């Protein structure tokens, strides 16, 4: 398959890491600095603005979750926009998102310096520089080391904030509620609906870190589960902390003081932490603030550094940024990103520019919502997200409309600043990256009927990503292989046409819903993904049936090979094919067929695959070779071994783990289809498939012990 990325990154990040990255990237200035400043636009209802902002970011989060599970690659929104809307919009989105993220991270580093300066008498910027170099070193050492620090800081931060919420609400309920409402919560909306929306646009930046998990999607294990679940959990937890925490601040700090208070958590903490000594409470609050800014800075550097790498892979930036060091991290991209941050920290008023750069996120979120609509309408078969955004397309349309509204309320300076980023990015595309871009986005597939060109390479790239993601839970690949028919041609010579006809006849005899000629036509039909299935001496042919219930597979091996002529299509050259896979699947489940094809490609790309499988004369051993992974185990029933107690028992009498099943039983040269009343005899070879946990249990019980 083509489109295999060079310098791949390790898949080390789990659900907790995704949650910590997203949460840590969100909770910083939005909680420790902005609440008082934001209240001047809407008054005590500022906590409602935080709730509205969380709701308004939901469409973008769900859209990014869908795109990231279909395209788990480094580069975040750059990669997603490039593959959906084309390289020009990818360049605009990538440069804009990178610039916004770098500015936000630089601001967080200065924030750490400000709080650290309360303990140490050093200039704020010098502290920020030292911390930038420290985070750069940690990021170079590996994603897992980076996320371990991130996880520790995030959970410490959450712990302090939960304590703040518990003590805060207990304090509020102990006060005279009528006086609290009259003094601090009336009037709730000081500037009406317009003020509420303006404040929502202002505090929206507090949630922008939510989507940073997409930029490290390539390094996430099981991205189809961990990316959307991690982001959803992160948004729920952060929203509770933001809304609850800001409500406590509004209720306990007098309105006049709250508006000008740049450390509202510190101020509210004096009223909240009554059972804790003031000094310890202060240390906790300052420690939480430093942890908040540190998680934003650490996660921001980690996420931002993946943008240059992804863009360099596509030749939008120089190729030097694709270099991966011995710790499997993009070293030069991390160093370059750190250098940009250092330059900003030392020379620019980062706080002002970061506020302007945040407005560009509205443009990005508009585009990612549109990108989901494009990808779904492109009808690209290999677009197979593990998570689908609900309420499509209304969720995306709602997100696009609200993005436009929030841009309008952001103010002219942020709008002009965003326009400048767009202009710079388009100039960069025109004079540098356009000559290197040899691809088009999925939007061309959508407009194919209007005469626009499609980019076939995109389908191949998506198919490779599909192969890399692997099978989905519940995909019946193992069962299909177990029940597959195997034909060994030995020294018999047969033409390609006759072989297709023979296999089609065998399959049609087992499945009455398809005629012999229909299957022949299906297997010989050429599609856009066929060039991605070309492997020397191996041919994978596939077809569909309207009435088939489960996938069917017929495997053919030949010692002398079968000549496959060029005139049958562009799916291969004149090659002497020694291994054929004939796959038949349901018509209404093309995504499953693609995942099975991708798994077959993963198998046939093993080293010396053809030699190994053609040397196997036993059908059971051949199927076990194809199934070889942590989901199957073979037990030979022999007296005086750990398997002795299975002899002379029916399968229904044996208690195996619940998540495994007996797939086949070989008795001498005969393969038995297992049933509940199948009686196991000495010498039987039992093949069991199932979930890795259950298979591991059987391995430890029957194999590991016997080898000790």
Residues 344 and 491 in one domain: no
Residues 495 and 397 in one domain: no
Give the DSSP H/E element, type plus range, for residue 564: strand 552-564
Q: How confident is the model at residue 448 (pLDDT cuts 50, 70, 90)?
A: very low
Residues 61 and 202 in one domain: yes
CATH code for the domain of 656: 3.30.70.1450
What average pLDDT score do residues 514-542 get?
81
User: What pTM did the predictor assign?
Assistant: 0.72
Q: What is the pLDDT of residues 649-708, one digit of tens each?
A: 999 889 888 888 888 888 887 888 888 889 999 999 898 888 888 888 887 788 654 333
Q: How confident is the model at residue 262 (pLDDT cuts 50, 70, 90)?
A: low
Lowest mean pLDDT among 103-112, 126-135, 201-210: 103-112
pLDDT of residue 449 exceeding 70: no
What average pLDDT score do residues 439-465 get?
54
348: Cβ–Cβ under 8 A, 6 or more apart, which residues? none
pLDDT of residue 229 exceeding 50: yes
pLDDT of residue 588 exceeding 70: yes
Residues 583 and 638 in one domain: no
Given 624, 640, 657, the domain boundary residue is: 624
Domain membership flag for residue 256: yes
Residues 349 and 399 in one domain: yes
CATH code for the domain of 307: 1.20.1740.10
Asked if 657 contacts 650 with a C-beta cutoff of 8 angstroms, the reply is no
Expressed as residue numbers, the domain containing 490 is 475-624
Query: In angstroms, what CA-CA distances link 610 with 49, 538, 561, 616?
Result: 62, 8, 11, 10
What average pLDDT score do residues 382-406 get?
89
Residues 486 and 375 in one domain: no
66 vs 706, residue with greater confidence: 66
pLDDT of residue 304 exceeding 70: yes
Q: What is the pLDDT of residues 131-146, one digit of tens each?
A: 888 888 888 876 555 6
Q: How confident is the model at residue 47 (pLDDT cuts 50, 70, 90)?
A: very high
Residues 377 and 273 in one domain: yes
Domain count, the chain: 3
Q: How confident is the model at residue 390 (pLDDT cuts 50, 70, 90)?
A: very high
3-class DSSP state of 382: coil
Q: What is the pLDDT of residues 178-192, one digit of tens each?
A: 776 777 778 888 888
Question: What is the Cα–Cα distance from 649 to 513, expressed in whole angstroms?
Answer: 38
Q: How confident is the model at residue 455 (pLDDT cuts 50, 70, 90)?
A: low
Please report the pLDDT score of residue 145 as a whole number.
Answer: 57
What average pLDDT score do residues 543-548 get?
85
Of all residues in the chain, what percent are helix, strand and coil, respectively (each to 5)?
65, 10, 25
CATH code for the domain of 501: 3.40.930.10
Domain membership flag for residue 500: yes
Q: Which two tokens stand for residue 44?
A: 């005590």
Q: What is the pLDDT of residues 142-174, one digit of tens each?
A: 655 566 777 788 888 888 889 889 888 888 887
Residues 658 and 609 in one domain: no
- Phi/psi for 535 (5° steps) reads -135, 130
Residues 563 and 645 in one domain: no
Domain membership flag for residue 487: yes
Please report the pLDDT score of residue 452 as a whole number.
Answer: 46
pLDDT of residue 253 exceeding 80: yes
Domain membership flag for residue 276: yes
What average pLDDT score do residues 304-311 get?
82
Q: Which long-range contacts (CB under 8 A, 24 or more apart) does 495-503 make?
A: 495/562, 495/563, 496/562, 496/563, 496/564, 496/565, 496/568, 496/577, 499/556, 499/562, 499/580, 500/524, 500/541, 503/554, 503/556, 503/580, 503/582
Q: Across 565-641, where does the E strand assignment appear?
A: 575-586, 632-636
pLDDT of residue 465 exceeding 60: yes
Domain membership flag for residue 469: no
Given 405, 433, 461, the domain boundary residue is: 433
pLDDT of residue 34 exceeding 90: no
pLDDT of residue 350 exceeding 60: no
Domain membership flag for residue 172: yes
Q: Across 468-537, where does the E strand assignment appear?
A: 485-488
What average pLDDT score do residues 343-372 get?
74
pLDDT of residue 626 exceeding 50: yes
Q: How confident is the model at residue 531 (pLDDT cuts 50, 70, 90)?
A: low
Question: What is the Cα–Cα distance from 170 to 150, expressed in whole angstroms?
Answer: 30
Residues 496 and 615 in one domain: yes
Please report the pLDDT score of residue 706 as a whole number.
Answer: 39
Domain membership flag for residue 459: no
Residues 201 and 347 in one domain: yes
Domain membership flag for residue 2: no
Q: What is the pLDDT of residues 634-644, one digit of tens each?
A: 888 988 888 88
Beta strands 552-564 and 485-488, pairing class: parallel
Given 590, 624, 658, the domain boundary residue is: 624
Residues 548 and 424 in one domain: no
pLDDT of residue 5 exceeding 70: no
Average pLDDT of every residue of the chain: 80
For residue 704, what is the DSSP state?
I
What average pLDDT score do residues 35-54 get?
88
Share of the chain above pLDDT 90, in %: 12
């Amino acid at each position: 398959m083509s489109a295999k990325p060079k310098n791949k990154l390790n898949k080390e990040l789990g659900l907790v890491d995704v949650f910590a990255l997203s949460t840590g990237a969100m909770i910083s200035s939005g909680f420790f600095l902005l609440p008082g400043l934001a209240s001047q636009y809407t008054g005590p209802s500022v906590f409602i603005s935080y709730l509205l902002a969380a709701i308004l970011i939901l469409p973008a989060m769900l859209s990014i979750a869908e795109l990231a599970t279909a395209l788990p690659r480094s580069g975040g929104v750059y990669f997603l926009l490039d593959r959906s809307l084309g390289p020009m919009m990818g360049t605009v989105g990538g440069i804009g998102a990178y610039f916004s993220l770098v500015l936000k991270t630089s601001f967080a580093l200065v924030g750490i310096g400000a709080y650290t300066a309360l303990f140490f008498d050093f200039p704020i910027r010098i502290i920020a520089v030292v911390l930038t170099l420290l985070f750069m070193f940690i990021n170079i050492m590996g994603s897992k080391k980076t996320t371990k620090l991130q996880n520790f800081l995030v959970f410490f931060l959450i712990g302090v904030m939960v304590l703040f919420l518990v003590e805060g609400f207990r304090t509020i309920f102990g006060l005279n509620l009528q006086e609290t409402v009259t003094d601090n919560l009336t009037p709730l909306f000081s500037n009406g609906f317009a003020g509420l929306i303006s404040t929502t646009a202002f505090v929206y930046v507090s949630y922008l870190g939510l989507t940073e998990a997409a930029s490290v999607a390539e390094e996430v294990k099981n991205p189809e589960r961990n990316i959307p679940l991690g982001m959803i959990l992160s948004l729920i937890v952060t929203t509770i902390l933001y809304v609850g925490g800001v409500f406590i601040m509004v209720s306990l700090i007098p309105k006049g003081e709250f508006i000008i208070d740049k450390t509202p958590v510190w101020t509210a903490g004096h009223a909240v932490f009554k059972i804790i000594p003031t000094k310890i409470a202060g240390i906790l609050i300052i420690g939480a603030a430093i942890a908040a800014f540190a998680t934003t800075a650490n996660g921001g550097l980690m996420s931002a550094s993946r943008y240059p790498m992804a863009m360099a892979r596509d030749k939008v930036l120089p190729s030097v940024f694709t270099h991966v060091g011995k710790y499997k991290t993009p070293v030069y991209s991390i160093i370059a990103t750190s250098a940009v941050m250092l330059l900003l920290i030392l020379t620019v008023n980062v706080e002002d520019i970061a506020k302007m750069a945040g407005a560009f996120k509205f443009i990005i979120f508009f585009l990612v919502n549109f990108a989901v609509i494009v990808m779904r309408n492109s009808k690209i078969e290999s677009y197979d997200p593990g998570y689908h955004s609900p309420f499509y397309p209304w969720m995306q349309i709602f997100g696009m409309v609200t993005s436009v509204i929030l841009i309008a309320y952001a103010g002219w300076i942020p709008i002009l600043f965003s326009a400048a980023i767009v202009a710079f990015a388009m100039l960069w595309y025109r004079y540098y990256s356009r000559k290197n871009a040899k691809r088009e986005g999925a939007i061309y597939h959508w407009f194919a009927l209007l005469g626009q060109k499609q980019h076939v390479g995109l389908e191949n790239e998506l198919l490779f990503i599909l192969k890399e993601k692997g099978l989905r839970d519940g995909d019946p690949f193992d069962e299909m292989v177990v029940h597959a028919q195997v034909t060994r041609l030995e020294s018999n010579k047969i033409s390609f046409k006759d072989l297709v006809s023979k296999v089609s006849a065998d399959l049609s005899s087992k499945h009455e819903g398809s005629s012999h000629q229909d299957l022949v036509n299906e297997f010989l039909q050429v599609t856009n993904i066929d060039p991605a299935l070309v492997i020397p001496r191996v041919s994978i042919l596939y077809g569909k049936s309207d009435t088939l219930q489960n996938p069917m597979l017929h495997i053919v091996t030949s010692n002398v090979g079968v000549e496959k002529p060029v005139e049958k299509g562009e799916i291969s050259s004149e090659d002497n094919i020694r291994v054929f896979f004939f796959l038949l699947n349901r018509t209404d489940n093309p995504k499953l067929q693609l995942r099975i094809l991708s798994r077959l490609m993963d198998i046939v790309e093993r080293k010396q695959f053809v030699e190994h499988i053609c040397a196997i004369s036993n059908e059971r051993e051949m199927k076990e070779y194809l199934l070889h992974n942590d989901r199957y185990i073979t037990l030979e029933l022999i007296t005086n071994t750990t398997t002795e107690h299975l002899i002379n028992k029916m399968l229904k009498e044996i208690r195996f783990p619940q998540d495994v099943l007996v797939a086949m039983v070989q008795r001498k040269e005969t393969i038995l289809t297992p049933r509940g009343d199948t009686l196991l005899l000495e010498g039987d070879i039992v093949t069991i498939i199932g979930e890795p946990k259950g298979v591991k249990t059987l391995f430890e019980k029957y194999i590991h012990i016997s080898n000790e």
